[in-house]
Amino acid sequence: MFASILAAGLAAGAIYALVGITYNTMYSTSRVMSFTAGQLGMLGGVFGSYFILKLGLPIIVGFLATLVCCAILGYITELVAVRPVLKSLEQHLYVLSTLALALMIQQVTAIEWGTEPRPFPKLVGWGEGVWDEKFWIPVVACALTIIGLEFLYRRTLVGRAFVAVAEDNFAAQALGLPERNLRVASYMLAAVVGGIAGFSGGELLLAFFANGALLNFYGFVPVALGGLGNNRGAVIGGLILGLFQQAANFLVGGIFASVAVFTLFIVVLLAAPQGLFGSAVAR
């Protein structure tokens, strides 16, 4: 039982952490919390299943196609739901525009893909029991993504430009950094991260349209716990959440587990609105 909790908890936690990073990446260059983060996670699974199982493409091709589709959606998110609203002074509008877009994505998926969870292909074929690939693939994917992002932010010019825009918008503009292009690029990057989350979590969560709302919430909790904009905090928060949730699931069962998670979330949020590890963003 303990081994199952650990395996499932780390796997779920890794997926939630990746969606949390999606939120953070979108936030960092636009100051916008986007409701589409969870939907991108869902689409990672749905597109993966569609390309590999339905269309029969090889796994690598299916994976890349999934990421490309997610990137396109990230671009659309920025274009339709974020850019027009940033110009206006009304900050609350972005909550509404991204919510509307997220719902549209979810409903189209429900109608076109169906309302039942559909199977996700086996990717590697290595592992049994608690070492089943549906448990270790998300963890590996999360680790690789973190390493990749660190490399991007520290070593490449584009990555450092992202960081600059995130830390001080006006200074970055003054330096001549192309703010809008960077924002678009970061939304596409965030969408790719979301796609990775959904694709790597496909065997655990299946290709299911309702995963969007689920990941929206469970992917947000790591952000709330870890502090807005803080990717490391998101990972720790995600793993904590995953372990707590799976422990509750195994010990008391589905309904009470989700009540426990939600209650804990609200309590933590009220006690520490800046997150347990503090926000990376100045007031």
Structure tokens that stand for 109 in this block: 């998926």
CA distance 231 to 24: 7
List, in sequence order, every residue forming a beta bridge with 207; answer none if it has no partner. Answer: 118
Q: Can residue 108 be called a binding residue for another protein (CB under 8 A)?
A: yes
CA distance 187 to 146: 17
Nearer to another protein, 39 or 161 (CB): 39
Q: Which of 61, 79, 158, 266 binds another protein (CB under 8 A)?
A: 266
Q: Can residue 118 be called a binding residue for another protein (CB under 8 A)?
A: yes
Q: What is the residue whose two structure tokens read 């703010």? A: 179
Q: Which stretch binds another protein (CB under 8 A): 66-74, 151-159, 180-188, 207-215?
A: 207-215
Q: Least Å distance between CB 197 and another protein?
A: 15
Taking CB under 8 A as the rule, which mask of x and - marks residues 131-170 in contact with another protein? -x--------------------------------------
Nearer to another protein, 96 or 171 (CB): 96
Q: Which of 56, 88, 155, 174 binds another protein (CB under 8 A)?
A: 88
Q: Which stretch binds another protein (CB under 8 A): 89-97, 155-163, 181-189, 229-237?
A: 89-97
Q: Least Å distance between CB 30 and another protein?
A: 13
CA distance 210 to 257: 18
SS3 207: strand
Contacts 24+ apart (CB under 8 A), 277-280: 277/225, 277/226, 277/227, 277/230, 277/232, 277/233, 277/236, 277/237, 278/227, 278/230, 278/233, 279/227, 279/228, 279/229, 279/230, 280/227, 280/228, 280/229, 280/230, 280/233
Asked if 119 and 53 touch (Cβ cutoff 8 Å), the reply is yes
In the complex, the residues that contact another protein under the rule CB under 8 A are: 1, 4, 8, 33, 80-81, 84-85, 88, 90-93, 95-97, 99-101, 103-104, 107-108, 111, 115-119, 129, 132, 204-206, 208, 210, 213, 217, 220, 224, 246, 249-250, 253-256, 258-259, 262-263, 265-266, 269-270, 273
